Chain A
Amino acid sequence: MISIRKLEKIFDSARGPVRAVDGIDLEVAEGEFMVLLGPSGCGKTTTLRCVAGLERPDGGSIEIDGELVDSADGGTYVPPERRDIGMVFQSYAVWPHLNVFQNVVLPLTEGQRRIPRSEVRDRAREALRLVRLDGLEERPVTDLSGGQQQRVALARAVVTRPKVLLMDEPLSNLDARLRDQMRDELRRIAESVNVTSLYVTHDQAEALSLGDRVCVMNEGEILQLATPKEVYSEPPNLFVARFVGEMNFLPAKVVDAGRVESGLGAIECAVPSGCAPGAAVTLGIRPEHIGMAPGESAAGLRGQVLRQTYLGDALHCQVQVGEVELTVTAVGDAEYVRGETVTVSLPEKGWHVFPEGQ
């Protein structure tokens, strides 16, 4: 539905040109929910704005629903109002001089995709019902809460029944509880109108829970394009591993194709083919893969609890094992005190090996 090829966008800034987007290839299938995930400043918004037609690419091309809308070489450029899209902005951008109903109706009466007058009212009501704002039609939008304004923005974006829905960190201005609630609802709405979605966020939890696929970006490039499960379990490099979820990292040396030597001793794991014996690598392991039990035992390594962070549904402990400090997720109702001696058991699976210099 959306196909982006070799997209480039360069901004002039006081410090010289900035390559905000640096050759991105991305295909979003019809009805798919695609999430662009990456740290602030990595070019997510710029990519999205190029798709919307709010920025003109400096290189590459974009197609929406088979129609070429941007081509830097061919000089094609379709302005935003003639693209079949809806967009939700980070700042909501609801029009403050109009009430809820007028905000939703304006695209239908004044836009390029306007519909017959007689259908406008029904269509707008349908969109408001979808976002559960029915009954608030006559309210000035400035009287609404942040969450409600966001719903107005969403209704306005889908009211024209666009093929593509673009969302730029739509939840980042909401407080935590509301964010979780809206996240589920976003997914429901996108599914019920069967729209192809491109969603930008810097929040990995949001990305993993929302996306059919997640596209991890950094410095204008794509690092990984995969399902949420793959992104979490098979990060292709250190950056993705650091950015998505928690992970322990420790330096290690390759012994052979199935073993490395680290501060925790020799560890059996799959070493990538590019790493010769003796090469320095970084070893990664997620906290929930490491086992921990109170007291000393021969079943594992001896450790000492340094700190713990209680998160409600889990307990994160910093444990000193020899020279290495590990974060471990303690399961069950286990409770530890600082300085307590514990047994840490290392898993056989779940190890990641990242070659040096990645």
Chain B
Amino acid sequence: MRLPSLNGQVSPLLPVALAPMALVAVFILVIVWVSFQSGTLGTVHSNYTLENYHDVLGDSAIYGVIWNTLWFAFSTVFFALIIGLPIAWLTERTTIPGKPAIYVIMTLGLLIPGIFVAMGWTFIAHPRIGFINRWLVDLFALDDGPVNIATPLGMGFVQGMNLAPLAFILTTQMFRAMNPMLEEAARTAGMSAAATLRRVTLPLAGPAILAAVIYIFIVGIATFDIPAVIGLGNRVYLFSTYLFTLTFPEDMEPRYGITGAVGVLMIVVALALTAWYGRVLQKGNRYQVITGKGYRPKMLDLGGWNWAAWAMIAVYALISKFVPIALVGFIAFAPYVAPPSLEMWEQLSLNNFYNVNWELVWRGMKHTLILMFVVPLAVMVCAFAISWLVVRTRSRGRYALEFGAFLPHTVPELLFAIGALLVALFVLKDYVPLYGTVWLIALVYLVTRLPFATRALNGALLQIHKELEEAAYVSGLTMLRASRRVLLPLLRPTLMSVWIWTALLVYREVTVAVFLATESNITLTAVVWSYWAAAGMTEASVVTTLMILFFSPLLLLFWIFGRRSALAEE
């Protein structure tokens, strides 16, 4: 096999492109390796064993965890699609007014971290402290709160609300690509509307919807933040939170071998789903080829139903984001967790702000800012190298690069976080002191943010005719100068949007930060988590409120520079 190269020379970009791939491989392999180890890892007192798998599969706890995870993932998919799909249809196929506003709502939905919303939902529907339950108990003199969010179904509801924007974006693309002429052709061929839906629309939309289902399911089975915030305190475990308690047990030495074995189970499931996802996507793409150029789909006029459609969207925005976040904001000023009431209103104060350890918050802020600066830069350099080699060279090796860059899209970040933790603890410990540094977190972010950046750049590079670069070479420009004077200026809009989008996602990321955070590399989200986990709900709410305030100017930046291409790619 020839290496990706221009004119037979190995491109200097190749090492840059391969570095993140090596990270992916190392993070995954180390989990596999650890799962077969017993004794003191990384020393001579360890040996190969199947004991860990034996212990995991022999413990009945794992089956409860699997059951919970499936329940959670399926309800996540259900709620995400039942909300996301109709809104996608409304924006792409009807004359509903205010479409830009719908995009704003859905994009915001994608950016507001699940952990914040989960905190709000705890305040709303926790079996003991949840406001709804408190009201109902008072009202009907019940013994227990009747509503319980801390179940797989309840958490799946919260995550489904949270991922509805993802379902929206995945299916808007489908509606956009699907040529309505095909439906019209069926109607003119004498088929009824119902028959058209059954025989034409659904079969055409099928692969895209199935792909969305699989993708959201994969995200679902690996969700950490929501089950951690809502479920851990109530001892309801999913895969992710189970892994967390195995890795960071409260009352004993961690057995990383067990973590590894559970991780491997998850890797197997994720890879199997990835393979399926890839197949379905391919099928969907085949259908898209049919789309003609420059067609204008005819929009359905909703007439009097417009207000009903908007009412649905508004209710969604209200209960999925606005109410939970508003409650978190309220608790930030409340003396203790209690439902909003006139009485509480008078007790609001800034007292909680004095209880917060500002030194810790400042440290978290510093690390978050470092990550927001370093990660997008690294992501962009690596993604550029990969995209250039994938798009501009013709070696077969480019398919391997493309696949490697796609893998972290479906392999959960949770696994990369565990892999990185194990690498830092047991492989690199004596050589490179990565454990407890932000750089360890940065490496995982680099890997997890790569797929989006690579796809965005692939698309942009495909748009830039190869001859524009070649014209620079024959004009006497070296490769370096040609890149600087021709390629980079043409890529600038895409690079800007990738930069900002990546920075935003780094800012809001929880899972990796929680798994890898120590005193010395804690990020803002990990500060929120550490307060919450230590039952400091009011302090957690204070930091969350501040985070949301800082978020707003960033969102504005995103809105100005990058939203178009980012939305189109994610």
Contact = CB atoms under 8 A, between A and B. Distances in A.
A194 interface: no
Interface in A6-57: 11-12, 52-56
Contacts of A160: 475-476
Interface in A95-141: 95-97, 106-107, 110-114
Most buried by A among B465, B471, B486, B490: B471
A86 interface: yes
B477 interface: yes
B481 interface: yes
Given A112-B476, A112-B478, A157-B475, 10 more contacts: A55-B7, A77-B7, A83-B474, A87-B470, A87-B471, A89-B470, A96-B490, A110-B485, A111-B476, A166-B474
Nearest to B485: A110
Contacts of B473: 53-54, 79-81
Contacts of A11: 394
A90 interface: yes
A54 B470 contact: yes
A93 interface: yes
A160 B471 CA distance: 13
Contact of B476 (A90, A91, A113, A153): A113
Nearest to B469: A93
Contact of A107 (B7, B465, B467, B477): B477
The bracket for how many chain A residues form the interface is 35 or more
B471 A93 contact: yes
A118 B468 CA distance: 27
Contacts of B396: 12
B475 A107 contact: yes
Most buried by A among B8, B473, B490: B473
Contact of A110 (B8, B468, B471, B481): B481
B7 A89 contact: no
B489 interface: yes
A106 B477 contact: yes
Contacts of B490: 95-97
A85 interface: yes
Interface residues of B, number: 21
B563 to A, nearest CB: 22
A54 B474 contact: yes
Contacts of B467: 89-91, 93
25 contacts: A52-B474, A53-B7, A53-B473, A54-B473, A55-B7, A56-B8, A77-B7, A79-B478, A81-B475, A82-B476, A83-B474, A89-B470, A89-B471, A94-B471, A97-B490, A106-B475, A106-B485, A107-B477, A110-B485, A111-B477, A111-B481, A112-B477, A156-B471, A156-B475, A157-B475
B7 A111 contact: no
A207 to B, nearest CB: 22
Most buried by B among A106, A112, A114: A106
Contacts of B477: 81, 106-107, 110-112
A81 B486 CA distance: 15
A267 B464 CA distance: 59
B485 A93 contact: no
A81 B476 CA distance: 4
Contacts of A77: 7-8
Interface string A136-173: 00000000000000000100110010000010000000
Given A93-B465, A110-B485, A79 B7 contact: yes
Contacts of B470: 52, 54, 80, 87, 89, 93
Nearest to B484: A110
Interface in B1-26: 7-8
Contacts of A156: 471, 475
A80 B473 CA distance: 6
A96 B489 CA distance: 10
A97 B489 contact: yes
Contacts of B481: 110-111
Given A55-B7, A56-B7, A77-B7, A87 B485 contact: no
Interface string B489-518: 110000000000000000000000000000
Contacts of B465: 91, 93
B476 A107 contact: yes
Given A93-B465, A95-B486, A96-B490, A87 B7 contact: no
A55 B6 CA distance: 8
List 4 A-B pairs, minimum CB-CB distance, nearest first. A111-B476, A107-B475, A93-B467, A80-B473
A95 B467 CA distance: 10
A160 B477 CA distance: 12
B474 A87 contact: yes
B489 A111 contact: no
Interface in B62-118: none
Nearest to A49: B470
Contacts of A107: 475-477
Most buried by B among A83, A107, A166: A107
Contacts of A53: 7, 473-474
B8 A80 contact: no
Interface string B129-157: 00000000000000000000000000000
Contacts of A79: 7, 473, 478
Nearest to A160: B476
Contacts of A114: 476
Nearest to B488: A97
Contacts of A86: 474-475
Nearest to A11: B394
A212 to B, nearest CB: 23
Contacts of B489: 97
Interface string B438-481: 00000000000000000000000000010110111111111001
A112 B473 CA distance: 10
A97 B254 CA distance: 57
A131 B381 CA distance: 40
A81 B474 contact: yes
Contacts of A111: 475-477, 481
A105 to B, nearest CB: 10
Contacts of B476: 81-82, 107, 110-114, 160
Most buried by A among B8, B396, B475: B475
Given A54-B474, A80-B473, A110-B485, A93 B7 contact: no
Nearest to A90: B467
A52 B467 CA distance: 12
Nearest to B465: A91
B438 to A, nearest CB: 36
B394 A12 contact: yes
Interface in A215-248: none
Nearest to B490: A97
A5 B254 CA distance: 71
Interface string A70-85: 0000000101111101
Nearest to B474: A87
Nearest to B5: A56
B397 to A, nearest CB: 12
A87 B473 CA distance: 10
A299 to B, nearest CB: 58
A272 B36 CA distance: 81
A56 B471 CA distance: 17
Contacts of B475: 81, 86, 106-107, 111, 156-157, 160
Most buried by A among B396, B465, B477, B481: B477
A135 to B, nearest CB: 23
A184 to B, nearest CB: 24
Nearest to B471: A93
A127 to B, nearest CB: 12
Most buried by B among A11, A110, A157, A166: A110
